[in-house]
Amino acid sequence: MTIKIPVSRPSIGEEELDAVKSVFESGWLGLGSVVYDFENALKEYLGAKNVIAVNTGTSALHIALDGAGIGKGDEVIVPSLTFAATIQAIIAVGAVPVFCDIEANTLNIDTAEVKRRITSKTKVIMPVHYCGNPCDMESLTAIAQEHNLTIIEDAAHGFGSTYKGAKIGSVGDITCFSFDPIKTITCGEGGAVVLNNNEIAEEIRRKRILGIDKDSWYRYKNEKLWFYEVTTRGYRYHMSNISAAIGLVQLKKVDTFIEKKRAISRRYDEAFAKMGGIKTLDIDYRDTAPFTYIVRAGERRDELMEYMAAKGIDTGVHYIPNHIHPLFKEYASSLPVTEKVWREIITLPLYYDMSEKDIDKVIEGIAQFFS
CB 215 within 8 A of CB 31: yes
Catalytic residue among 123, 167, 183, 261: 183
Q: What angle do CA 44, 253, 2 make, to 5 degrees?
A: 135
- Read off the amino acid at residue 267: R
What residues pair up with 5 in beta bridges, in sequence order? 313
Euclidean distance between CA atoms 166 and 168, whole angstroms:
6
- Read off the amino acid at residue 199: E
Euclidean distance between CA atoms 24 and 139, whole angstroms:
47
Euclidean distance between CA atoms 193 and 174, whole angstroms:
7
Q: Check if 21 is active-site.
A: no
Alpha helices, DSSP H, located in the chain: 14-26, 33-46, 57-67, 84-92, 111-116, 137-147, 198-207, 216-219, 241-272, 301-310, 336-341, 356-370
To the nearest 10 degrees (0 to 180), the angle between helices 14-26 and 241-272 is: 160
User: What is the SS3 assignment for 122?
Assistant: strand
User: What is the SS3 assignment for 217?
Assistant: helix
Residue 201: how many CA atoms within 13 Å on its side-chain side?
17
Number of Cβ within 10 Å of residue 181's Cβ equals 12
CB 131 within 8 A of CB 292: yes
Euclidean distance between CA atoms 202 and 30, whole angstroms:
20
- Nearest CA to 130 out of 99, 157, 153 is that of 157
Euclidean distance between CA atoms 280 and 260, whole angstroms:
19
Strand-strand pairing, 96-100 and 150-154: unpaired
List residues with catalytic annotation.
183
